[in-house]
């Protein structure tokens, strides 16, 4: 008897079939299917192709008056017709990715409690201590391979949103499916609600989370420890992605779990991977070498330090000593330049503290260091001022300017500013998308340093190889893969990343490279397939309607 994708029940019939998002095809059910499956009279008489449905969805999306309305419409589609949602997303990824994820997902998270319609994923609180594994067993799909978890403390550049941050794991997993073909029933979003430091949410009667102070210290660690053990035992071969944890916990938890579980932190390692890929591509445009670069980072949190660590690894691999490589990475945090004379530095920052005069602000630090690249991961809108951009263009023929903060409102500068104040010479990338810019008659298409270029492919490679760990080396090789996929035409337009329309091709290339690395490093007990790319490709989910097997049986 045919089984439901969850593997737990027989396929539904009639109205139950139309209410099942994994199986519903709406008006695309054929006449034979309608007759065999008890659907006659439950649908309009028109029979549509899936492609006609995709066009109908896009027409509706484009009629919506705001990006939030578009987001809600698409999430509604995901809730009622999963295959059509992913088919539409894949075919229109460049247009819809900013709606499903950054920057619109930030606004969606801010409004999450108010627009909450249907629960997605698992919500875990301190009240579940001692039986988290039984909570996870409530999830209907038993073959979970990718799990994205957050505690909602640092959502994009928006801060502590508590349970409203569930929009992030949901959005990330949609991109795993669209960009790397991870089957939806292999994905699980998790919110660990430990309270919120955002006291404005406590008095909001519509807030869906715990209206109380955040859990901290030993109680917090015990809850996370139990969750990690329970998730790994409940879902063997699962890869766990940490997302938007606060700075005080992110590095600590990564160090705590990375050698015990198959896990990574996307804000640290994924962001580092895509930024390194951008630097590789930028150097194809500037003609420089990685070992000759001098980088100033605005921000010294998860993203910036993660990028710095991966850049150091790249420079070491290209011949520098560790001290020489660290000496080429400079950080400016909220207190000023990170130097040895400061006494307020935590361990992760102190590794990049140099014997150099202290400078309180970014402009004076940049003038003193004269970098080849400035990289913003601070959430400080407009921090890359015209004066800083002009100075970068004075010292460098092609200054590298990465304004990586999300959402768009928090970007360190706009694409227009970067190109205008460098007379079109900047090599620019941003975290959120910006429209094309025309300077002196030349058209520039800004690159978007979107983690979606990295994490889906890495996840697919880990899944396909059954790797027991996710390593920094995997993100290094993923960065090189992405840079190689940026064409000459891309670079001529100023776009240092390949078009998102090619993201499945990019993800397959990354996955193959990551899987080969897992086999080479003996991170898996699995035997390497003779045709690894073909094997991985065969595992990729494709949201194309198939004839219901019960109709074939009747025929």
* 71 in Cβ contact with 99 (< 8 Å): yes
Closest CA to 163 of 179, 148, 151, 176: 151
Please give the structure tokens belonging to residue 294.
Answer: 């001098």
Residue with tokens 């997303």: 89
d(CA 389, CA 399): 8
* 336 in Cβ contact with 365 (< 8 Å): yes
329, β-bridge pairs: 295
Q: What is the DSSP string of 31-98?
A: HHHHHHTT-TTTS-S----HHHHHHHHHHHHHH-SSHHHHHHHHHHHHHH-HHHHHHHHHHTHHHHHH
Angle 302-317/247-257 helices, nearest 10 degrees?
50
d(CA 349, CA 86): 41
* 216 in Cβ contact with 201 (< 8 Å): no
d(CA 26, CA 160): 39
12-16 long-range Cβ contacts below 8 angstroms, 24+ apart? 13/37, 13/38, 14/38, 14/39, 14/42, 15/42
* 494 in Cβ contact with 447 (< 8 Å): yes
Residues 6+ apart with CB under 8 A from 527: none
290-309 CB burial, b ≥16 within 10 A, e <16: beebebbbbbbbbbbbbbbb
Strand pairing class (329-333; 336-337) = antiparallel
How far is CA 428 from each of CA 69, 160, 275, rounded to the nearest angstrom?
30, 29, 11
| CA triple 298-327-322, angle to 5 deg | 120
d(CA 122, CA 136): 7
Q: Check 87, 172, 349, 485 and give the catalytic one.
A: 172
Backbone angles phi, psi at 330, to 5 degrees: -120, 145
Please give the structure tokens belonging to residue 274.
Answer: 């895509």
Cis peptide leading into residue 407 (ω within 30°): yes
**Helix count (H) and strand count (E) of the chain?**
25, 14
d(CA 214, CA 97): 32
Q: Is 233 a catalytic residue?
A: no
Q: Is 261 a catalytic residue?
A: no
Q: What is the dihedral of CA 345, 332, 160, 272, to 10 degrees?
A: -100
Strand pairing class (122-125; 187-193) = parallel
d(CA 505, CA 509): 6
Q: Check 71, 86, 101, 257 and give the catalytic one.
A: 101
Q: Which residues are catalytic?
A: 101, 172
């Amino acid at each position: 008897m045919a089984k439901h994708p969850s593997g737990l029940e027989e396929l539904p019939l009639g109205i139950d079939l139309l209410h099942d998002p994994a199986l519903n095809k709406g008006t695309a059910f054929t006449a034979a299917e309608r007759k065999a499956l008890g659907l006659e009279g439950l649908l309009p008489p028109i029979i549509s192709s899936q492609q006609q449905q995709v066009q109908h969805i896009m027409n509706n999306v484009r009629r919506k008056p705001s990006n939030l309305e578009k987001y809600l419409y698409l999430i509604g589609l995901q809730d009622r017709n999963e295959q059509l949602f992913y088919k539409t997303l894949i075919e229109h990824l460049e247009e819809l990715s900013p709606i499903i994820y950054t920057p619109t997902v930030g606004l969606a998270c801010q409004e999450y409690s108010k627009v909450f319609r249907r629960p997605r994923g698992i919500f875990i609180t301190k009240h579940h201590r001692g039986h988290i594994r039984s909570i996870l067993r409530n999830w209907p799909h038993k073959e979970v391979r990718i799990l994205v978890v957050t505690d909602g403390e640092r959502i994009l550049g928006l801060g502590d949103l508590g349970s409203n941050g569930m929009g992030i794991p949901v959005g990330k997993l949609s991109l795993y499916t669209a960009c790397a073909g991870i089957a939806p029933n292999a994905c699980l979003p998790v919110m660990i609600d430990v309270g919120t430091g955002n006291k404005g949410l406590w008095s909001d009667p519509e807030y869906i989370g715990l209206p109380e102070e955040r859990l901290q210290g030993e109680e917090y660690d015990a809850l996370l420890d139990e969750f990690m053990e329970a998730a790994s035992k409940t879902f063997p071969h699962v890869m766990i992605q940490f997302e938007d944890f606060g700075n005080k916990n992110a590095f600590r938890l990564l160090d705590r779990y990375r050698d015990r579980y198959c896990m990574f932190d996307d804000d640290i390692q994924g962001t580092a991977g895509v930024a390194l890929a951008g630097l590789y591509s930028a150097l194809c445009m500037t003609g420089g070498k990685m070992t000759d670069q001098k980088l100033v980072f605005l921000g010294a949190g998860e993203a910036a330090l993660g990028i710095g660590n991966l850049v150091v690894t790249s420079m070491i691999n290209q011949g520098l000593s560790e001290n020489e490589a660290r000496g080429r990475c400079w950080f400016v945090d909220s207190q000023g330049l990170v130097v040895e004379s400061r006494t307020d530095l935590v361990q992760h920052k102190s590794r990049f503290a140099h014997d150099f005069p202290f400078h309180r602000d970014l402009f004076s630090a940049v003038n003193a260091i004269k970098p080849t690249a400035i990289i913003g991961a601070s959430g400080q809108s407009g921090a890359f001022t015209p004066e800083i951009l002009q100075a970068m263009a004075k010292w460098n023929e092609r200054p590298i300017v990465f304004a990586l903060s999300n959402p768009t409102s928090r970007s360190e500068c706009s694409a227009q500013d970067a190109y205008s104040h460098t007379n079109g010479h900047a090599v620019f990338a941003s975290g959120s998308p910006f429209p094309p810019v025309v300077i002196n008659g030349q058209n520039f298409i800004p690159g978007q340093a979107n983690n979606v270029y990295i994490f889906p492919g890495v996840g697919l490679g880990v899944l396909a190889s059954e790797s027991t760990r996710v390593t920094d080396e995997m993100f290094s090789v993923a960065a090189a893969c992405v840079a190689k996929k940026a064409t000459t035409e891309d670079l001529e337009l100023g776009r240092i990343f390949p078009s998102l329309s090619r993201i499945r091709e990019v993800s397959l290339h990354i996955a193959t490279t990551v899987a080969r690395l897992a086999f080479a490093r003996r991170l898996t007990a699995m035997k390497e397939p003779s045709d690894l790319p073909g094997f991985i490709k065969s595992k990729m989910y494709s949201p194309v309607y198939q004839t219901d097997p019960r109709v074939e049986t009747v025929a």
